[in-house]
Amino acid sequence: MPTDDSNLRPGEFEITDLEEKLWRQVHPVWVHEGRVTSQLFSPTPKDSGELSVTRASVVTAEAAHRHHTEVVGLKSIGVYCVEVAEVQEAGLNAVDDSQVDDGQERPPGHAFVDFKAVSSAKQQKRRASTLRDKAEKRGWQHGPNP
């Protein structure tokens, strides 16, 4: 599902390598009874429809986790991933925003899964569950670290 480039900010571009993996940090509250919840792939209101991920072509899962926890100081017990093809199969796009010049510091290889066009909460949850299921089949890419 290609993006109309006019919707992208200067410095953003759609990731087109369908096999590229996108790392997603797993906050400890997103694990219940040993299973990761769909919240892992659900953007929060503060995300403005942009679910943060990191590109595997730029940084390893371990380095992404270390940056997230040690440099940025956020919680993560490990890393899951989806491929760009799986994002597109869910009717979404993956966008690299690592070169956007808006004064915000971004981790190396930062990108996002674009949920901005998904208007209903039900559709958002359905797509997040689809991505979680794909990631869960692949398992932990780094961690978990209790």
Question: Which pLDDT tens digit goes with each residue over 4-26?
Answer: 556 898 989 999 999 999 999 99
Q: 36: which 2 tokens? A: 């990761």
- pLDDT tops 90 at residue 78: yes
Domain edges within the chain: 8-138
H-type helices in the chain, by residue range?
61-66, 84-89, 121-138
pLDDT of residue 1: 44
| SS3 of residue 51 by DSSP | strand
| Interval 33-39 mean pLDDT | 92
- pLDDT tops 60 at residue 79: yes
| Tens digit of each residue's pLDDT (9 = 90 or more) over 38-57 | 999 999 888 899 999 999 99
pLDDT of residue 119: 85
Closest CA to 145 of 42, 82, 75: 75
| Interval 57-70 mean pLDDT | 97
Predicted model pTM: 0.92
Mean pLDDT of all residues belonging to the chain: 92
Spatial distance between the Cα atoms of 46 and 50, rounded to a whole number of angstroms: 9
